[in-house]
Amino acid sequence: MIPPMQTAPLLRIRGLKTQFALREGLVRAVDGVDLDAHAGKTLCIVGESGSGKSMIARSILQIVSPPGRVTDGEMVFQRTGREPVDLAKLDPAGKPVRAIRGRDIAMIFQEPMNSLSPVHSIGDQLIEKILLHHRLSRHAAIDRAVEALGRVGIPDPRQRLSNYPFELSGGMRQRVMIAMALACRPALLIADEPTTALDVTTQANILDLIAELQAEYGMGVIFITHDLGVVAEIAHEVAVVYLGQVVERGSVDDIFYNPQHPYTLALLSSIPKLGARRKRGQRLHSIKGMVPHPFNRPKGCPFHTRCPEARPGLCNLEDPRKLELNEGHIVACHMRDPAVLTQAAEVTV
């Protein structure tokens, strides 16, 4: 489905590591992640709670809260008309990265209830962000804010400017967040579970809105979610994350029609489907056990403690290598590695 990419991706992440040096030990929240986000395409990052999805997003903008910090890897971001920049090398509190935040890469968050300051009006917060990145008069900034609010479907945008977040519904607040993200025309939009806290109808509206705006502005979108239904609907590419590592990534067709990693398979079989399975007397699958605590991160493949195919002596000892099965479809699993399988066959013979 995805044509081979001739141009460099908008954001190319290689070997990204984000770690928290806590008194209890080192938490490897993001552990050697490779991702590519392309302009005009949607990359979905899926995984359970605690898998490090949000940490990847925060690492891109260098807003991981201390003591966490990006310790290794590179995140090369292509800016139109300017030199590409490696976000991983930038100082989290420095000016260069602040100029990119909100301007080139914008982010919307999970909790629309708390993501806006409760004591500042919407207009105040929107205009502040616009003036931060653009040399505009206050008047022009107000017009731009009104335009952005109108674009995301907020009625009477000019009147809304003086409203406070608590006067709006959850869906409206998320629209305001999207308007804030759009106001500076970013090249990349990171949406960190933007629909999780909303009811299903509002969810659908927000997803449609993001897709529409993406088509209109040609933004790249990184969409973080745990909802595979949402992934199927909006993704061009998918990355499945487990314990801070990308266990499988590929096009949406690769992931849904030709899933390889046991974790991906397990995730897909845990989607409830109306009627279909009950007819055959099947129960809904769940993945056994819990995501291991980050302090007791398993050695070898992170998923081996819950994996039905895990082979003792291999999966619990050695890290699987990242194997490219076909163009852009990459899986990190010993049991899909031809080298390992032939070796194993030789041993049994």
**DSSP annotation of 163:** -
Number of H helices, E strands in the chain: 12, 12
Binds other proteins by CB under 8 A, chosen from 29, 33, 35, 100? 100
C-alpha to C-alpha distance for 329 and 284, rounded to whole angstroms: 27
Q: What residues are paired with 10 via a beta bridge?
A: none
Q: Is residue 63 within the footprint of other proteins (CB under 8 A)?
A: yes
Total of residues contacting other proteins (CB under 8 A): 33
Which helix (H) or strand (E) segment is 59 a member of? Answer: helix 53-61
Identity of the amino acid at 206 = I
- CA 28 to mean position of chain CA atoms: 17
Of the candidate spans 58-66, 198-206, 218-226, 319-327, the one that interacts with other proteins by CB under 8 A turns out to be: 58-66
Neighbour tally for 337: CB within 10 Å: 17
Binds other proteins by CB under 8 A, chosen from 117, 159, 169, 343? 117
Of the candidate spans 5-13, 110-118, 232-240, 308-316, the one that interacts with other proteins by CB under 8 A turns out to be: 110-118
C-alpha to C-alpha distance for 301 and 323, rounded to whole angstroms: 14
Q: Is residue 119 within the footprint of other proteins (CB under 8 A)?
A: yes
Query: Measured from the CB atom, is 119 or 347 closer to other proteins?
Result: 119
Binds other proteins by CB under 8 A, chosen from 106, 188, 266, 287? 106
Q: Is residue 114 within the footprint of other proteins (CB under 8 A)?
A: yes
Q: Is residue 203 within the footprint of other proteins (CB under 8 A)?
A: no
| Nearest to 60, CA basis, from 190, 184, 181, 182 | 190
Query: Measured from the CB atom, is 167 or 318 closer to other proteins?
Result: 167
Query: Measured from the CB atom, is 95 or 273 closer to other proteins?
Result: 95
Which helix (H) or strand (E) segment is 176 a member of? Answer: helix 170-182
Query: Measured from the CB atom, is 173 or 306 closer to other proteins?
Result: 173
Could you say which residues in the range 142-201 bind other proteins, by CB under 8 A?
A: 164, 166-167, 177, 180
Q: Is residue 134 within the footprint of other proteins (CB under 8 A)?
A: no
Query: Measured from the CB atom, is 33 or 97 closer to other proteins?
Result: 97
Q: Is residue 45 within the footprint of other proteins (CB under 8 A)?
A: no
Binds other proteins by CB under 8 A, chosen from 42, 115, 174, 245? 115
Binds other proteins by CB under 8 A, chosen from 46, 51, 78, 109? 109
* Largest pairwise CA distance in the chain: 79
**DSSP annotation of 47:** -
Residue 228 CB, nearest distance to other proteins (Å)?
A: 25
Question: Helix-strand-coil percent breakdown of the chain, rounded to 5?
Answer: 35, 20, 40
| Nearest to 59, CA basis, from 22, 95, 26, 32 | 32
**DSSP annotation of 334:** G
Could you say which residues in the range 75-94 bind other proteins, by CB under 8 A?
A: 93
Query: Measured from the CB atom, is 4 or 118 closer to other proteins?
Result: 118
C-alpha to C-alpha distance for 249 and 329, rounded to whole angstroms: 6
Of the candidate spans 128-136, 139-147, 208-216, 253-261, the one that interacts with other proteins by CB under 8 A turns out to be: 128-136
Q: Is residue 56 within the footprint of other proteins (CB under 8 A)?
A: no
CA dihedral 147, 152, 157, 163 (to 10 degrees): -120
Residue 163 CB, nearest distance to other proteins (Å)?
A: 9
C-alpha to C-alpha distance for 190 and 108, rounded to whole angstroms: 6
Binding residues for other proteins (CB under 8 A): 58, 61, 63, 65, 93, 98-103, 106-107, 109-111, 114-121, 128-129, 132-133, 164, 166-167, 177, 180
